Amino acid sequence: MASASASLLKSSSPVLDKSEWVKGQAIRQSTVSVRSLPSGPSSLTIRAGSYADELVKTAKTVASPGRGILAMDESNATCGKRLASIGLENTEANRQAYRTLLVTAPGLGQYISGAILFEETLYQSTTDGKKMVDVLVEQNIVPGIKVDKGLVPLAGSNDESWCQGLDGLASRTAAYYQQGARFAKWRTVVSIPNGPSALAVKEAAWGLARYAAIAQDNGLVPIVEPEILLDGDHGIDRTFEVAKKVWAEVFFYLAENNVMFEGILLKPSMVTPGAECKEKATPQQVAEYTLKLLHRRIPPAVPGIMFLSGGQSEVEATLNLNAMNQGQLTCSARQVHWRGRIRGGQERNVRQGIHLLNLLARRS
């Protein structure tokens, strides 16, 4: 299912020039957390480190007005399905050609501020021999990286899941920064039909907080993404209550882990009824509930929100985003919107694919 995202809370502060992204390949020292000794309920925690200013600039750049995020973080297996649908084998050469098509689209940087990459892509070169990361930076697109290791069953829960990938994350994020990545993505999910249980909500929030702290310590802006799944026949009010609980837990644990809010981005689900709910919500209702959630749960220090369509159709997501548009809302396109238009890698169809990618990004 295609998805859409959007940048909402924008800042007018200066953003990073593309020359600031790659300043050499030496890994800098991780940030240092300095805790003041508890002196009472009002004691403060001070966070300092060499990446603090860069994290703020990166977050503002990705959330810059008029642009959005291109999600091209499909695994090799998923990429193979894309290739199979156009009659191509899942080889490294074909994956390279497919990703080259995406990152070399002329003018893409006018509409796309960041690109989420799969690990293979981060280390891959284009068919012309240039590093994918360098091609993105030349278009003023910030390279990002998916760092979670997927969902697995959560023992002791109501058939719910948790997201793995914290083991070794510090060394991986340090290496990703050295390779040119400047932000990270970690996706976990919450299922309403199965509760959600207090255990599942806490596990999701804690995992996101630990990931965010580790990412920031190694120079990457964390995108915080607790997706509330559309499965179920519950109404929009139930989704709203669950979303409030989830985001309250997320920000509680982000604070517990000394995450700097100015150096994160959010990727929330819109507040909608369950997919099987008989009472459908209008775009105006979705906008009302979603914006109310943001006002009640999201601190103003957060520089940007990239909306997740969460299983909605392209039309539904676009209408809902349009209803939320307050003059600073821009949707970005996933490349899967147009994958069916490219047939067998033929030159004519490649040109059509590039044109359509730019059209989708500009339209959003």
Q: Where are the domains of the chain?
A: 53-361
Backbone angles phi, psi at 206, to 5 degrees: -65, -45
Catalytic amino acids?
225, 267
* 53-361 CATH choice from 3.30.43.10, 3.90.1010.10, 2.120.10.10, 3.20.20.70: 3.20.20.70
Is the pTM of the predicted complex or chain greater than 0.75?
yes
Q: What is the pLDDT along the chain (364 residues), one digit of tens a residue?
A: 333 344 444 444 445 554 454 443 333 333 334 333 343 433 444 453 689 999 999 999 999 988 889 999 989 999 999 999 999 999 999 999 999 999 999 999 999 999 999 999 999 999 999 999 999 999 999 999 999 999 999 999 999 999 999 999 999 999 999 999 999 999 999 999 988 999 999 999 999 999 999 999 999 999 999 999 999 999 999 999 999 999 999 999 999 999 999 999 999 999 999 999 999 999 999 999 999 999 999 999 999 998 887 788 888 988 998 898 853 443 333 322 223 333 444 455 555 555 556 655 665 5
